[in-house]
Amino acid sequence: MSSQIKSAVEEMVKPFLDENGFELVDIEYVKEGSNWFLRVYVDKEGGIDIDDCGRVSEFLSAKLDENDPIPVAYFLEVSSPGAERPLKKPEDYRKAVGKHVFLTTYEPVNGKKEFEGLLEAFDGETFTVNTGKKSVTVPAEKLASARLAIVF
Protein backbone atom coordinates (compact mmCIF):
# COMPACT_ATOMS: atom_id res chain seq x y z
CA MET A 1 0.00 0.00 0.00
CA SER A 2 2.81 2.40 0.86
CA SER A 3 4.37 2.08 -2.62
CA GLN A 4 0.96 2.69 -4.25
CA ILE A 5 0.49 5.87 -2.23
CA LYS A 6 4.01 7.06 -3.03
CA SER A 7 3.41 6.42 -6.76
CA ALA A 8 0.07 8.25 -6.68
CA VAL A 9 1.62 11.24 -4.89
CA GLU A 10 4.54 11.34 -7.33
CA GLU A 11 2.13 11.30 -10.28
CA MET A 12 0.20 14.24 -8.77
CA VAL A 13 3.14 16.45 -7.81
CA LYS A 14 5.73 15.75 -10.53
CA PRO A 15 4.20 17.98 -13.28
CA PHE A 16 3.98 20.92 -10.84
CA LEU A 17 7.58 20.40 -9.72
CA ASP A 18 8.87 20.14 -13.29
CA GLU A 19 6.98 23.31 -14.31
CA ASN A 20 8.49 25.25 -11.42
CA GLY A 21 12.08 24.02 -11.65
CA PHE A 22 11.93 21.77 -8.59
CA GLU A 23 13.36 18.28 -8.24
CA LEU A 24 11.54 15.49 -6.43
CA VAL A 25 14.15 13.93 -4.14
CA ASP A 26 12.05 11.43 -2.19
CA ILE A 27 8.60 10.58 -0.86
CA GLU A 28 8.05 8.79 2.45
CA TYR A 29 4.76 7.47 3.80
CA VAL A 30 5.47 6.22 7.31
CA LYS A 31 3.77 5.55 10.62
CA GLU A 32 5.42 7.03 13.69
CA GLY A 33 3.68 6.16 16.91
CA SER A 34 -0.03 6.38 16.19
CA ASN A 35 0.36 8.99 13.42
CA TRP A 36 0.91 8.65 9.68
CA PHE A 37 3.21 11.08 7.85
CA LEU A 38 3.47 11.83 4.15
CA ARG A 39 6.84 13.50 3.64
CA VAL A 40 7.82 14.98 0.31
CA TYR A 41 11.42 16.12 -0.12
CA VAL A 42 12.08 18.63 -2.89
CA ASP A 43 15.07 20.64 -4.04
CA LYS A 44 16.11 23.02 -6.81
CA GLU A 45 19.27 24.45 -8.27
CA GLY A 46 20.72 26.82 -5.66
CA GLY A 47 18.63 25.30 -2.85
CA ILE A 48 15.04 25.49 -1.69
CA ASP A 49 13.55 27.86 0.87
CA ILE A 50 10.49 27.89 3.10
CA ASP A 51 8.40 29.80 0.53
CA ASP A 52 9.16 27.13 -2.08
CA CYS A 53 8.13 24.41 0.37
CA GLY A 54 4.93 26.33 1.09
CA ARG A 55 4.05 26.56 -2.61
CA VAL A 56 4.58 22.84 -3.13
CA SER A 57 2.64 22.03 0.05
CA GLU A 58 -0.36 24.18 -0.99
CA PHE A 59 -0.46 22.63 -4.45
CA LEU A 60 -0.07 19.07 -3.19
CA SER A 61 -2.57 19.52 -0.36
CA ALA A 62 -5.25 20.64 -2.86
CA LYS A 63 -4.43 17.70 -5.18
CA LEU A 64 -4.56 15.22 -2.30
CA ASP A 65 -7.94 16.60 -1.17
CA GLU A 66 -9.22 16.31 -4.75
CA ASN A 67 -7.95 12.77 -5.41
CA ASP A 68 -7.94 11.36 -1.84
CA PRO A 69 -5.48 8.45 -2.32
CA ILE A 70 -4.82 8.00 1.41
CA PRO A 71 -7.63 6.33 3.40
CA VAL A 72 -6.45 7.43 6.88
CA ALA A 73 -5.64 10.73 8.57
CA TYR A 74 -2.04 11.83 8.05
CA PHE A 75 0.29 14.81 8.32
CA LEU A 76 1.73 16.29 5.12
CA GLU A 77 5.29 17.63 5.36
CA VAL A 78 7.14 19.22 2.44
CA SER A 79 10.79 20.02 3.05
CA SER A 80 14.32 20.21 1.74
CA PRO A 81 16.32 16.99 1.82
CA GLY A 82 18.92 18.81 3.93
CA ALA A 83 22.66 19.07 3.64
CA GLU A 84 23.06 15.31 4.06
CA ARG A 85 20.48 14.52 1.41
CA PRO A 86 19.83 10.90 0.57
CA LEU A 87 21.04 9.61 -2.77
CA LYS A 88 18.47 7.25 -4.26
CA LYS A 89 18.65 7.24 -8.05
CA PRO A 90 21.49 6.80 -10.57
CA GLU A 91 21.21 10.51 -11.48
CA ASP A 92 21.72 11.38 -7.78
CA TYR A 93 24.88 9.25 -7.70
CA ARG A 94 26.24 10.87 -10.88
CA LYS A 95 25.63 14.38 -9.47
CA ALA A 96 27.44 13.36 -6.26
CA VAL A 97 30.70 12.44 -8.01
CA GLY A 98 33.35 14.75 -6.59
CA LYS A 99 31.43 15.22 -3.32
CA HIS A 100 31.80 13.73 0.14
CA VAL A 101 29.41 10.77 0.67
CA PHE A 102 28.48 8.13 3.23
CA LEU A 103 27.57 4.67 1.88
CA THR A 104 26.35 1.57 3.69
CA THR A 105 26.16 -1.93 2.24
CA TYR A 106 23.98 -4.99 2.86
CA GLU A 107 27.06 -7.17 3.25
CA PRO A 108 30.73 -6.45 3.88
CA VAL A 109 32.98 -5.19 1.09
CA ASN A 110 36.65 -5.62 2.00
CA GLY A 111 35.49 -6.42 5.56
CA LYS A 112 33.47 -3.20 6.03
CA LYS A 113 29.83 -2.15 5.64
CA GLU A 114 30.28 1.65 5.93
CA PHE A 115 32.30 3.91 3.66
CA GLU A 116 32.77 7.65 4.00
CA GLY A 117 34.84 9.76 1.68
CA LEU A 118 35.05 11.41 -1.71
CA LEU A 119 32.92 9.74 -4.39
CA GLU A 120 35.46 9.52 -7.20
CA ALA A 121 33.29 7.66 -9.71
CA PHE A 122 29.97 5.96 -10.37
CA ASP A 123 29.68 3.96 -13.59
CA GLY A 124 26.20 2.49 -13.06
CA GLU A 125 27.56 -0.73 -11.57
CA THR A 126 30.14 0.37 -9.02
CA PHE A 127 30.95 3.27 -6.73
CA THR A 128 34.56 4.28 -6.17
CA VAL A 129 35.02 6.02 -2.82
CA ASN A 130 38.31 7.50 -1.64
CA THR A 131 38.22 7.03 2.14
CA GLY A 132 41.38 9.09 2.64
CA LYS A 133 43.60 6.06 2.98
CA LYS A 134 42.68 4.29 -0.25
CA SER A 135 40.01 4.02 -2.92
CA VAL A 136 37.38 1.32 -2.43
CA THR A 137 35.11 -0.07 -5.11
CA VAL A 138 31.59 -0.85 -3.88
CA PRO A 139 29.27 -2.88 -6.15
CA ALA A 140 25.92 -1.12 -6.70
CA GLU A 141 23.98 -4.33 -5.94
CA LYS A 142 25.42 -4.33 -2.39
CA LEU A 143 24.42 -0.71 -1.68
CA ALA A 144 21.96 -0.37 1.22
CA SER A 145 21.95 3.43 1.46
CA ALA A 146 23.81 6.48 0.28
CA ARG A 147 23.77 10.14 1.28
CA LEU A 148 25.83 13.26 0.99
CA ALA A 149 28.01 13.82 4.06
CA ILE A 150 29.21 17.02 5.66
CA VAL A 151 32.92 17.33 6.33
CA PHE A 152 33.84 19.22 9.51
CATH topology of domain 90-148: SH3 type barrels. (2.30.30)
Euclidean distance between CA atoms 125 and 140, whole angstroms: 5
Pairing of strands 112-122, 100-109: antiparallel
**DSSP string spanning 80-105?**
---TT-B--SHHHHHHHTTSEEEEEE
Euclidean distance between CA atoms 124 and 127, whole angstroms: 8
Helices (H), 20-132: 50-67, 90-96
Euclidean distance between CA atoms 131 and 152, whole angstroms: 15
| Residues 78/40, Cβ–Cβ less than 8 Å | yes
CATH topology of domain 2-79: GMP Synthetase; Chain A, domain 3 (3.30.300)
Give the per-residue pLDDT at 32.
Answer: 93
pTM value?
Answer: 0.74
CA 24 to chain centre: 8
Mean pLDDT of 41-58: 92
Pairing of strands 35-43, 75-79: parallel
Give the per-residue pLDDT at 1.
Answer: 59
Give the per-residue pLDDT at 41.
Answer: 93
Give the per-residue pLDDT at 74.
Answer: 93
Domain boundaries, the chain: 2-79, 90-148
pLDDT digits (tens, 9 = 90+) for 102-152: 999 999 999 999 999 999 999 999 999 999 888 999 999 999 999 999 887
Confidence of residue 65 (pLDDT cuts 50, 70, 90): very high
Residue 29, phi then psi, degrees to nearest 5: -130, 105
> 62, 37, 40: which is closest to 52 by C-alpha?
40
The residues, ordered by sequence, that sit 6+ positions from 6 with a Cβ below 8 Å of its Cβ are: 27, 28, 29
pLDDT digits (tens, 9 = 90+) for 2-39: 789 899 999 999 999 999 999 998 899 999 999 999 99
Q: What is the CA radius of gyration of the chain?
A: 17
